Amino acid sequence: MSINGIINTSLSGLFTNQAAIQATSNNIANVNTEGYARVVVETEANILQGQSAGVSISDIKRVVDKFLESALQTSTSNLSEVTVQREFHDRLQGILGDPASDSSLAARMDQIYQAMADLALNPADVLRRQQMLSEIGSFTDQINLYHDQIQSLRSEASTQMAETVNAINTTLQRIDELNPLLVRASALGEESGGLEGQLSLALNELASLIDIKIERTAAGGVKIATGDGYPLLDTSLFQLEYDAPGIVEAGTTFPTIDVYRVNDDGEQISSTVDLTPHIRSGKLKGLMEMRDNQLVDLSVTLGELSARAMDEFNAIQNKYSAVPAPNSMEGKQTFVDGAHQTGFTGQTTFAVVDGNNQLVNSVTVDFSDTGTYPDFDAVVTAVNAALGADGTLALNNGVMSFTATNSANGVVIADDEADPSDRAGRGFSHFFGMNDLLSADRAGIYETGLDGTEDHNMGAAETIEFEVLDSLGRSLATISVGTTGTTFDDMITELNNVGGLGAYFSFTLESDGQLTYEETASYDGINLKVINDTTDIGGTGVTFTGAFGIGDKHRVEAARDVTINEDITSDPNRLSLAVFDATGAVGDVVLTDGDQRGALAFQSLETSLVGFDSAGELKASNVTLSQYVARFLGNAGLQARRVSDLEADNIALQQEVQARNSAVSGVNMDEELSNLIVYQNAYGAAARVLSSVQDLYDDLLSIV
């Protein structure tokens, strides 16, 4: 080998080991830097005309395990999803409070029963009446608070979704800025460990927000897509968009999370696409799950609890009478018009009493006599004819009213003891809400008592627009159902039309008039959403979906603005505790102040079984009100525990993956110091060779 060859060989050793020392020093300097993966210098022998001619750097490679990096990003996404859910459940548990405390919903119910028991001992005591109403008010205030707070949490989840979308956009922009730098470093063969570290941090941050799949390009950059492959960054950048609504209620329709391609100036250059169904994990998915599923399930369960509690209290309040009787009763909004068949069986007495509780006039209607009472117009006509100038029964736009003509008199609606009126399990006064104790935005009870052969009395141009969603929230179809035929059976037939909504759901009108629906055999886990309903049953202002409670909104809002009748709170004597004496003649006393039978009926609610429909995660059951309260609170606690356990499992998994990834990519100080010594010795040896050649040159020059 020539002297020049020796010089070149030693120089290559100097340069190569110098680069190796630099790489090692970078590793040592970044031993505690998050996201940094150690780099190694790979060398190869230089071959010149078949002979070894020193050494060169073949690659400065970042030590990573692609499988472990991908697994770490997946575990990060999964952990972020359940962590944000756990945070929301922690807040919800703070709202619900300790079930064993005196201020819990369960304790409120027990306090109502205690007040009812005290009232039964002395029904004429106004203070005991006030105490019972106060305890009921505390219970309803708690229901209202829970409803409002759950909707507030849904609003918070929606707001955080908007913030998360902005964070995703910022991180994608950062990665898009790193891409050309990585491509340049790869093209020039430069060491890119620092850039790769920044990229790794950005990718991990993005993975915590949304599930991602990463592909390295041949040029050295990255392409990013969602877990199921929808692009977020390829040849150009994509940006997400979500506008959180300012006010969130049970019926709020949330906008989709849209995605679109942008140019280098950030201007939109493609149409928007709904990204929602492509989001499988990450913080964004966790927020969507809380907003659209878990909190909704709890609010539906709360609505079912509120609806059944109101119905049970109202049943007793309508069955008995106040003393003195009120001058007028006005019922709640119903879908019933005068032409509707009554649908009742049994007998009801409509009576007018004076200020001394003496009977002024009365009439008994036997609803089983459908020939005499084919519809509500016939009932109203018969009652008014019998009472004459003493009282008036009226049905206007679905609202029933009963008024005594003389302001000093009162009115009573009482069912026959042996053969009470009944429509879908409710008496006449109860069905129309003539003397309700409690009310809310929605009744929440949809056993309508309708017969499918009845006329629906809806206009021909009225329509209902439905949307069918799959289990991932993707829209499968938007279907418009127009008013069809003349009867409710005709409408149900149209709903079951396999060319439309019937392809997804099967609708059935139950014997109690409740309209139920379930998925067809072709689908599983799909949901039905009411987008718009312009129908109006008989000019009452009640829509078809409102009458049957189709859609979560109607059930949820049974827990919204639950209030006690103001007339009763202002005058506790309006609390109905007395039994009307249907055997009394005109002039007889038919109501007795201090009658305890109504109070005993209220007290019996403590042990009465109530039929609850399926709501959220709770299946249909026959339990007491207290037991259902316990189930509601227990289910909320179970959801919180389930998410907490999932978080703990995902933390353990992430830590394991992180440990294994660090074992591969992390900096080991002992190893780096050992390498440093090796590279220093190699550098010194190369320098020694170069020095020896210099001496040789000097000797040769001295000879000359």
**Is residue 489 situated within a structural domain?**
yes
- Please indicate, yes or no, if residue 73 is contained in any of the structural domains: no
Q: Report the pLDDT value the prediction gives residue 38, as an integer from 0 to 100.
A: 76
Distance CA 512, CA 447 (A): 5
Residues 34 and 161 in one domain: no
- Whether 39 shows a pLDDT value over 80: the answer reads no
With b for 16 or more beta-carbon neighbours within 10 A and e for fewer, the 476-491 pattern comes to eeebebebbeebbebb
What's the pLDDT score for residue 659? 81
Peptide bond into 255 cis (omega under 30): no
Q: Six-digit token pair at 675?
A: 């390498």
Distance CA 207, CA 63 (A): 21
Do 59 and 180 reside in the same domain of the chain? no
- DSSP at 434: T
Q: 303-330: per-residue pLDDT in tens?
A: 999 999 999 999 999 999 999 999 999 9
E strand segments, 35-116: 39-48, 51-62
Looking at 276, 295, 314, the residue that finishes a domain is 295
pLDDT of residue 648: 96
Residue the block writes with tokens 């949304």: 210
658 pLDDT band (50/70/90 cuts)? confident
Written as six digits, the tokens of 686 are 């190369």
211 — pLDDT class (breaks 50, 70, 90): very high
Calpha distance 691→679 (Å, rounded): 18
User: Are both 41 and 158 inside the same structural domain?
Assistant: no
Task: State the pLDDT confidence band at 704, using cuts at 50, 70 and 90.
Answer: low
Q: Which two tokens stand for residue 34?
A: 């998050």
pLDDT number for residue 667: 76
Q: Which pLDDT score is estimated for 409? A: 98
Residues 41 and 171 in one domain: no
Residues 291, 152 within the same domain = yes
CB 308 within 8 A of CB 625: yes
Q: Which two tokens stand for residue 14?
A: 């100097």
User: d(Cα 226, Cα 233) in Å, to the nearest integer?
Assistant: 10
Contacts of 625 (CB under 8 A, 6+ apart): 109, 305, 308, 309, 312, 605, 606, 608, 610
The CA distance from 526 to 531, in Å, is 16
Q: Are 574 and 598 in contact (CB under 8 A)?
A: no
* C-alpha dist (Å) from residue 53 to 123, 318, 573: 111, 105, 110
Q: Which range of residues forms the domain containing residue 502?
A: 463-548
Contacts 24+ apart (CB under 8 A), 284-287: 284/161, 284/164, 284/165, 284/168, 284/209, 284/210, 284/257, 285/77, 285/81, 285/210, 285/211, 286/80, 286/81, 286/82, 286/83, 286/84, 286/85, 287/84, 287/157, 287/158, 287/160, 287/161, 287/164
Q: Is 274 helix (H, G, I), strand (E, B) or coil?
A: strand
Q: How is the chain split among helix, strand and coil, in percent rounded to 5?
A: 45, 20, 35
In sequence order, what are the residues at sequence separation of 6 or more whose Cβ sits closer than 8 angstroms to the Cβ of residue 667? 27, 28, 30, 31, 36, 38
**Partners of 327 in the beta sheet?**
none
Helix residue ranges per DSSP H, 260-294: 283-289
347-353 β-sheet, strand order: 359-366, 347-353, 410-415
Other C-beta atoms within 10 Å of 388: how many? 12
Task: Characterize 392-419 residue by residue with b for buried, 16 or more Cβ atoms within 10 angstroms of its Cβ, and e for exposed.
Answer: bbebeebbbbbbbeeeebbbbbbbbeee
Q: What is the pLDDT of residues 519-567, one digit of tens each?
A: 998 898 898 999 999 999 988 999 999 999 998 999 999 999 999 999 9
d(CA 150, CA 156): 10
- CA–CA separation, 550 and 448 (whole Å): 13
- What type of residue sits at position 375? D
The answer to whether residue 370 scores a pLDDT higher than 90 is yes
| Choice between 692 and 352, residue whose per-residue pLDDT is larger | 352
Is residue 539 located within the same domain as residue 678?
no
Q: What residue type is assigned to position 394 of the chain?
A: A
The verdict on residue 241 lying in a domain is yes
pLDDT of res. 1: 57
**Which two structure tokens, joined as six digits, stand for 302?**
């709360």
CA distances from 381 to 374, 388, 490 (A): 12, 10, 30
Say how far apart CA 245 and CA 237 lie, in whole Å.
26
Q: Could you give the CA distance from residue 383 to residue 387 in angstroms, rounded to a whole number?
A: 6
pLDDT(607) > 80: yes
* Amino acid letter, 126: V
CA angle, residues 319, 321, 322, in degrees to nearest 5: 145
For residues 124 and 323, give the distance between their C-alpha atoms in angstroms, rounded to a whole number: 10
Q: Where are the alpha helices (DSSP H) in 346-460?
A: 376-387, 428-432
Residue 2 CA, chain-centre distance (Å), reads 81
- The pairs formed by 521-525 with CB atoms below 8 angstroms and a separation of 24 or more are 523/470, 524/471, 525/470, 525/471
pTM given for the model: 0.89
**How are beta strands 610-612 and 347-353 bridged, if at all?**
unpaired
**Residue 226, strand partner residues:** 212
- Domain end point (choices 272, 295, 318): 295
Residue 634 in any domain: the answer is no
Question: Per-residue DSSP letters for 327-364?
Answer: SEEE----S--TTS----BSEEEEEEE-TTSBEEEEEE
Cβ pair 381, 393 in contact under 8 A: no
One domain, residues 191 and 55:
no
For residues 290 and 178, state if they share a domain: yes
Instruction: Work out the end-to-end distance of the chain between its first and last CA atoms, rounded to an integer number of angstroms.
Output: 21
Tell me: do 59 and 152 sit in the same domain.
no
Residues facing residue 413 across a β-bridge: 350
Q: What are the tens digits of pLDDT across the range 113-163?
A: 999 999 999 999 999 999 999 999 999 999 999 999 999 999 999 999 999
DSSP conformation class of 613: P
What integer best gives the mean pLDDT of the chain?
A: 91
Are 516 and 507 a contacting pair, CB within 8 Å?
yes
Check whether 87 has a pLDDT greater than 60.
yes
> Which pair of tokens denotes residue 24?
């090692």
Torsion of CA 664, 670, 674, 679, to 10 degrees: 60
Question: Is residue 553 one of the residues assigned to a domain?
Answer: no
pLDDT confidence of residue 48: 76
Output the six-digit token pair for 626: 């207290």
For 161-178, what is each residue's pLDDT tens digit?
Answer: 999 999 999 999 999 999
Q: Please check whether residues 265 and 156 belong to one and the same domain.
A: yes
Tokens of 6: 């020796």
Residue 86 lies inside a defined structural domain of this protein: no
| Out of 218-222, 682-686, 694-698, least confident range | 694-698
Exposed (0-12), middle (13-18) or buried (19+): which is 284, by Cβ within 10 Å? buried
What pLDDT is attached to residue 18?
Answer: 81
Residue 386 inside a domain? The answer is: no
Q: 3-state class of 453 per DSSP? A: coil
Rg (CA), the chain: 38
Q: Give the span between the Cα atoms of 667 and 35, in whole angstroms.
A: 11
pLDDT at residue 678 in the model: 83
Q: How far apart are CA 689 and CA 256, in angstroms?
A: 70
The tally of domains found in the chain comes to 3
Is residue 58 located within the same domain as residue 162? no
Co-location of 280 and 153 in the same domain: yes
Q: Which of 295, 312, 346 is the last residue of a domain?
A: 295
Residue 228 lies in a domain: yes
